[in-house]
Amino acid sequence: MPGEKVTSVDVAKRAGVSQSAVSRVFTQGASVSPKMAEKVHKAAQELGYRPNVLARSLITGRSKIIGLVVAYLENQFYPDALEKLSNALQAHGYHILVFMVSNEDASVDKVMGELLDYQVDGIITASVGMSNDLAARCAAAGVPVVLFNRGQDDDRLNQVTSNNFEGGRQIAKFLAASGHERIAHIAGWSGSSTGRDREAGFRVGLKDAGLELCACIDGMYKRETAAAAAIELFSGSDRPDAVFVGNDHMAFAVMDVLRFELKLDVPGDVSVVGYDDVPLASWPAYDLTTLRQPSNRMVEATVATLLGWIEDGSTSIQKIQIDGPLMVRGSARIPQGWNDERL
Amino acid sequence: MPGEKVTSVDVAKRAGVSQSAVSRVFTQGASVSPKMAEKVHKAAQELGYRPNVLARSLITGRSKIIGLVVAYLENQFYPDALEKLSNALQAHGYHILVFMVSNEDASVDKVMGELLDYQVDGIITASVGMSNDLAARCAAAGVPVVLFNRGQDDDRLNQVTSNNFEGGRQIAKFLAASGHERIAHIAGWSGSSTGRDREAGFRVGLKDAGLELCACIDGMYKRETAAAAAIELFSGSDRPDAVFVGNDHMAFAVMDVLRFELKLDVPGDVSVVGYDDVPLASWPAYDLTTLRQPSNRMVEATVATLLGWIEDGSTSIQKIQIDGPLMVRGSARIPQGWNDERL
DNA sequence: GATAGTTGTGCATACGTATGCAAATTGAAG
DNA sequence: CTTCAATTTGCATACGTATGCACAACTATC
């Protein structure tokens, strides 16, 4: 391999100008004469020169890299968000450096260290929390953090979520309105704010309707755990007639168990409602009634917050909650006149 | 924000040693006395020092960044691969910088330029090809490229795929053995090697069995296109009794159309076979018979190729094809004695 | 055409680290 | 205690770029 690194010095030499001139031509907002710009561009073109982002970052303190920490991509919500985040950031000249973590242990902290080594301009964590100790370090390093789809009390951390409490309540209202009487919940991981908030809202919603949760199991946001929970809940004869599952990913597992293992009819025997509205939820094989997390708007808010912090020096902590609609589909009995009421 | 960048110089000062000593302590394979190492580590600890990867890369010429170019994450195969790639590379001290492209136009080339700006140590493209012009530039820059799940003739490009031709043939053999007579194909995008190879193998396999393709439509690897193709193929009365769909992602759409729109029974009326074996394929809602692309081994091969090139200076072009088994499930009629034969 | 004001350019230096080289230290052997 | 080899350390410099500062070139004004 030839391995010809062509630098601004080479370009300067060929164009017969100084290195600083070359630098200015490639720097946004520096003043150069049209004549100079043309000369330099020509030389650069001929040599195939492109500025070295890393070297630049050394001096500007801006790496144009955003670190994304994510636990797993199995739940379709996250690849979808990742794609949208990447596109949005790319449009602003930033790119995403990916860090996979296992959510359970302290690997988050370890990985975050590596993250800072890369001098990232900002950090987005999707579906993972972080230790306060770590939050402090990021704050000290001046690196803004946005928790995407996860809340945390630490007041140094921005966060963007859907309105999980309200979402849970809305689902309760819906299930109550269609006359269900034994309503169960397979909750999101209780170690996560999203899981806890959805459950809390759901309970309040049921209470408002004069109902009470007949059973509640932590599904850990995992397919296997949710499936096991479904078997436990629905094997007996006094089974629930409706279940709110903490996210779509688990809801699919639950529907699989209900229909193919326990031979129950959905929604005839059991109504199932999920949370997220991932693309798969609308496919007819599942046709899942679910509360939409508006990923577009969540991504928008995340990017806006991050860039505001990085480029405009904003320092106000944002705790953004975005409302989403209930997508009424075929997996749950529909209350009479539901559509009318909502017009 | 405080913004305390702590450098090796700060650590050196506090430990009462030279900056180079600090550097050596944090450099793999440099010789330092235990005493020195301890002093430096202590000071570093106290100040919260971590080496700046970007500055390091400037001098070593190694950024520890691998660029990943990917077109879309909607097909579950890719987030799955991304997760595995990231984990494998992370274990070797590398991280993935993500670049989303739209496959159709020349945006690949544009994005690749940005990629090189980051001085990536290597490039993985998932599901996208690249212009020869570009391949030349990467070769010139000494940056190794691995095409993941996509082939291309250019002899400067490594590639890792499943054995698509053989896979297609195996599927043909399977469908023929179960006595299907009117066999159709909704092909992968004809602009991709994977799509073409699977189709070619499929045709050969049918021929070997004395059969012929009764219809073939390009599904573009897109859900909507595949759905439209399914309607076109199966609306008439002389419909096919089996269809091989170019990947699982499209196969799901096809099954949805067949079952819920055209009210056909799978596999009673039509057998459906996919390609990839993404996790969803094994969920009972689809229970899709499909040819597995062994993503674990493909990832392994990709990482090995890339790191061999980067770290061991290997320069031999690898064109790796990995065989995968046919996962026989419920979406296609099973030939009598199929299991016996295969023992 | 001289002067002041404006813009464009070059010089020098800095960013944070790694590394060749020579000096200094250590340890072993005589 | 001396000598020599082996190891450890510090000094200086380089990586590729951006930017403050001083100076050169140009424009407009009288």
pLDDT in tens, A32-65: 888 889 999 999 999 989 999 999 999 999 999 9
How far is A343 from B11, CA to CA, in rounded Å?
Answer: 66
Hey, which residues 124-153 in chain B have their CB within 8 Å of chain A?
137, 139-142
A183 pLDDT above the threshold of 80:
yes
pLDDT for res A103: 65
DSSP code of residue A154: -
Q: How confident is the model at residue A135 (pLDDT cuts 50, 70, 90)?
A: confident
Q: How confident is the model at residue A127 (pLDDT cuts 50, 70, 90)?
A: confident
DSSP code of residue B323: -
DSSP code of residue A27: S
Mean pLDDT, residues A197-208 taken together: 97
How far is A41 from A44, CA to CA, in rounded Å?
Answer: 5
3-state secondary structure of A239: coil
Q: How confident is the model at residue A141 (pLDDT cuts 50, 70, 90)?
A: confident
Strands A95-100, B95-100: pairing kind: antiparallel
Taking the Cβ of residue B260 and every Cβ of chain A, the question of whether any pair is shorter than 8 Å is answered with: yes
Q: Cβ of residue A297 near strand C, that is under 7 Å?
A: no
* Alpha carbon separation from B79 to A34, A70, A332, B282 (Å, rounded): 46, 12, 30, 17
Residue nearest to nucleotide D9 (CA to C1'): B21
Of A164 and B131, which is predicted with more confidence? A164
Taking the Cβ of residue B7 and every Cβ of chain A, the question of whether any pair is shorter than 8 Å is answered with: no
Note whether B197 and B335 are within 8 A (CB): no
How far is B165 from B194, CA to CA, in rounded Å?
Answer: 8
DSSP class per residue in B154-199: -TT-EEEEE-HHHHHHHHHHHHHHTT--SEEEEEPPTTSHHHHHHH
What's the CA–C1' distance between A310 and C23, in Å? 47
What's the one-letter identity of residue A306?
L
Q: Which of A73, A95, A97 sits opposite B79 (nearest CB)?
A: A73
For B2-31, letters b (16+ CB in 10 Å) and e give eeeebebebbbebbebeeebbbbbbeeeee
Tokens of B190: 């004809």
Tens digit of pLDDT for each residue in A301-317? Answer: 999 999 999 998 888 99
Long-range contacts of A267-271 (CB under 8 A, 24+ apart): A267/A330, A267/A331, A267/A332, A267/A333, A269/A239, A269/A241, A270/A234, A270/A239, A270/A240, A270/A241, A270/A242, A270/A243, A271/A175, A271/A178, A271/A180, A271/A241, A271/A242, A271/A243, A271/A331, A271/A332, A271/A333
Nearest to A30 by CA among A9, A2, A51, A16: A51
How far is A299 from A84, CA to CA, in rounded Å?
Answer: 7
Q: Which of A76, A117, A256 sits opposite B51 (nearest CB)?
A: A117
Nearest to A193 by CA among A128, A143, A243, A241: A128
Judged by average pLDDT, the poorest of A6-20, A93-107, A114-128, A273-287 is A93-107
Strands A65-70, B213-218: pairing kind: unpaired
Nearest to B96 by CA among A129, A67, A311, A72: A67
Taking the Cβ of residue A83 and every Cβ of chain B, the question of whether any pair is shorter than 8 Å is answered with: yes
pLDDT for res A107: 79
A341 pLDDT above the threshold of 70:
no
Taking the Cβ of residue B49 and every Cβ of chain A, the question of whether any pair is shorter than 8 Å is answered with: no
Tokens of B30: 């440099």
Q: Which residues 23-62 in chain A have a CB closer than 7 A to strand D?
A: 23-24, 26-27, 30, 49-52, 55-56, 58-60
Ranges A152-161, A214-223, B148-157, most confident: A214-223
Mean pLDDT, residues A97-115 taken together: 83
Q: Which residues of A touch B83 (CB under 8 A)?
A: 72-74, 100
pLDDT for res A235: 93
DSSP code of residue A257: I
Edge-to-edge order in the sheet of strand A271-276:
A213-218, A183-187, A242-245, A271-276, A289-292, A326-327
* Residues of chain B below pLDDT 50: 1-2, 343
In chain A the domains, ranked by start, together with CATH numbers, are 8-51 (1.10.260.40), 63-163+295-322 (3.40.50.2300), 164-293+326-342 (3.40.50.2300)
How far is A26 from B34, CA to CA, in rounded Å?
Answer: 46
How far is A306 from A124, CA to CA, in rounded Å?
Answer: 8
Distance from CA of A214 to the nearest CA of B (A): 28
Mean pLDDT, residues A77-93 taken together: 96
Which residue of B lies nearest to A113 if distances are taken between CA atoms?
B50
Q: In chain B, which ranges are E strands?
A: 65-70, 95-100, 122-126, 145-148, 158-162, 183-187, 213-218, 242-245, 271-276, 289-292, 319-322, 326-327
pLDDT for res B1: 41
